[in-house]
Amino acid sequence: MTDLNRRGLMYVLSSPSGAGKTTITKALLKNNDNLQISISATTRPRRAGEVHGQDYFFVDHNAFRDMVDNGEMLEHAKVFDNYYGTPRAPVEKALAEGKDIIFDIDWQGTQQLFELAAEDLVRVFILPPSRAALEKRLRERSRTTLESEEQIRGRMDKAADEMSHYTEYDYIIINSDIEAAITQAQTILSAERFKRRRLNGLSDFVRGLKEGL
């Protein structure tokens, strides 16, 4: 009998700020031993306490540009004066070993991943239950982050643009209850792990079963 080895998957969670993406991501990482978060490369300076290869892969602008030119990035973007991107090699190694990778990226990064690795990709978009609920969450969070009224309004404006891309995702979670949203995200992940195309050696396995009948 042929042993079945599952190919890993890339699990993308996207949402406007304040919709609960970070909370759901942390819960999935806690509840799934075979799930790890994607580590981005960045050209921004390392902050106190950050570890290379754990928080980010810290590289200079020339090295980052070379990685892009050599096809070593799955996706990348410029944020203000620095670049961020997903190195290809660690992700492909993990997928080949049957490990799943979770991504906390926006719709633009998701589009780039889809162009390069659609078969490995699972795209989930998280929506707030209402505009009022999203604004309430942002204002509650601002008590800790000390964001200004202008910054809150900016996040609300950006949310409207981000939510217009929901049709580009495979699944939608409306986060009206965080525990229910976590359960839905876990259900999607569990089901996607059993997709036929992710099971290596399945044809030989079934052929062996048939020969034994």
Q: Is the pLDDT of residue 2 over 60?
A: no
Residue range 8-22: mean pLDDT, rounded = 94
Q: Would you kindly state where each structural domain of the chain is located, as residue ranges?
A: 5-38+99-211
Residue range 11-39: mean pLDDT, rounded = 95
CATH for 5-38+99-211, among 2.40.50.140, 3.40.1390.10, 3.40.50.300, 1.10.1040.10?
3.40.50.300
For the stretch 66-102, pLDDT in tens is 999 999 999 999 887 899 999 999 999 999 999 999 9
**What are the start-end ranges of the E strands in the chain?**
5-6, 10-14, 35-37, 41-42, 57-58, 73-79, 82-87, 100-104, 121-127, 171-174, 199-200
Residue 3 pLDDT grade (very low, low, confident, very high; cuts 50, 70, 90):
low
Count of CB atoms situated within 10 Å of the CB of 63: 12
At residue 1, the pLDDT reads 37
Mean pLDDT of the chain: 92
Distance separating alpha carbons of residues 134 and 141, to the nearest angstrom: 11
Q: Is the pLDDT of residue 4 over 90?
A: no
Task: Tell which wins on pLDDT, 189 or 48.
Answer: 189
What's the pTM value of the predicted model, to 2 decimals? 0.88
DSSP letter assigned to residue 129: S
